[in-house]
Amino acid sequence: MSRTRRTEAAHDPELVHRLSRRNMLGVAAGATAAALLGAAAPAAAAAEGTAASGHGHGRPVLPPGRLGIQLYSLRDKVATLGFAAVFAELQKYGYDEVEYAGYSQGSAGPISLAQLKRLTRDHGLRPIGSHVGYYANDPGAYTFAQNLDRVLDDAAALGLPHIGTASGPWRYGSTVDGWKRCAEEFNRFGAAARKRGMKFYQHNHSEEFSFAGDRPDVRLYDVLLAETDPDLVYLEMDIFWAYVGQYRYSVRPDGTPAPFDPLDYVLDQPHRYPLFHVKDGDRDDSAVPYGYRMTDVGDGDIDYRRFMSAVNRTRHGRHAHHWQAEHDNPVESLAFARKSSAHLHSLREKGH
């Protein structure tokens, strides 16, 4: 356990014990889509050339074959042009993997899971994961809590090695016991996924790093890590939101300091973080309440060379993790995808 993690858990002996113990869907794009996307090809080639030149002469920070994108960032293009057209662009931009954010493609027409799987692979992409809701009030909602078998059936049909949720563990409130109850459910989802040859994971936002309503000395993210089985429940760190959490929750409600570095969580348990969201932002105190303004990858202040290089040096090495570019609301989604790939391919480690 890192020094910052020990400080956070120091007020809860049971938590210390637990922490140490568990140390969008398509057919081929038509002529309209081709015309819309054709103009992107020259720019993509230029971006790839820039990436190849690199920043320095060290080993690439990005392991070969491990660049993905969360398709939520491209939801506007998926819903109008369809998966095939979007995948064709991602292939040109040098992407290796995709993480789904739904299996339909809006006005581009109906598509089956078998068609989606084939389209993904036909464009040289691997389906690496998918986000599905955790719970909902609607009894018919497509969520882990209410349709676990169907969620896993669909993931298996797509050949996914990971299946997860971007929903936070708030189902039973913000108390320690409430998060323990959610952790029990996550363990159940993880056990069911493991039986199907998949890993269940949870994607964070900034609020996971806040403090328990009944225990303001306990960070809720620590409860999640301590109460979930590390062999059943994995994490997808959204690096941008983790740094927002660092900004928002570096002081406890009573005013005492509680600093942490998101990277420490990963270095403590690197095997629990098979997936990352690579999202960037500018630090800005006027951006209330987050302290950051989201940007395209490479335009912000998050030091991805430092972060990714440190993860690459863990005992699990460069090939144990997957890096998914993401922007919640890009100005132009395909331009974002192209630029993110170029930037990440350009980063070089120091000392190699």
pLDDT tens readout for residues 291-326? 999 999 999 999 999 999 999 999 888 899 999 999
- The domains of the chain are located at 3-346
Q: What's the pLDDT at 350? A: 84
Q: What letters, b where the CB count within 10 A reaches 16 and e where it falls short, cover 66-86?
A: bbbbbbbbbbebbbbbbbbbb
pLDDT on residue 58: 87
Output the pLDDT for position 137.
84
CA gap 94, 146 in Å, rounded: 37
Where does the pLDDT of residue 32 fall: very low under 50, low under 70, confident under 90, or very high at 90 and above? very low
pLDDT band for position 77 (cuts 50, 70, 90) = very high
With a CB cutoff of 8 Å and minimum separation 6, the contacts of 95 are 67, 68, 69, 125, 337, 341
Q: Is the pLDDT of residue 155 over 80?
A: yes
CATH code for the domain defined by 3-346: 3.20.20.150
Task: Give the mean pLDDT of the chain.
Answer: 88
- Give alpha helix (H) positions in 39-173: 40-53, 75-81, 83-92, 113-122, 144-158
Q: Which two tokens stand for residue 219?
A: 């960070």
**3-state secondary structure (DSSP) of residue 163:** strand
C-alpha 47/C-alpha 339 separation (Å) is 7
Give whole-number Cα distances, 88 to 35, 40, 77, 108, 260, in Å. 13, 11, 12, 15, 40
Secondary structure (3-state) at 219? strand
Per-residue pLDDT at 38 exceeds 50? no
Q: Phi first, then psi: what are they for 45, rounded to 5°?
A: -65, -40
Mean pLDDT of 190-218: 98
The Cα 145–Cα 147 span in angstroms is: 6
Does 37 have pLDDT greater than 80? no
What pLDDT score was predicted for residue 56? Answer: 54
pLDDT of residue 17 exceeding 60: no
What mean pLDDT do residues 81-98 have? 98
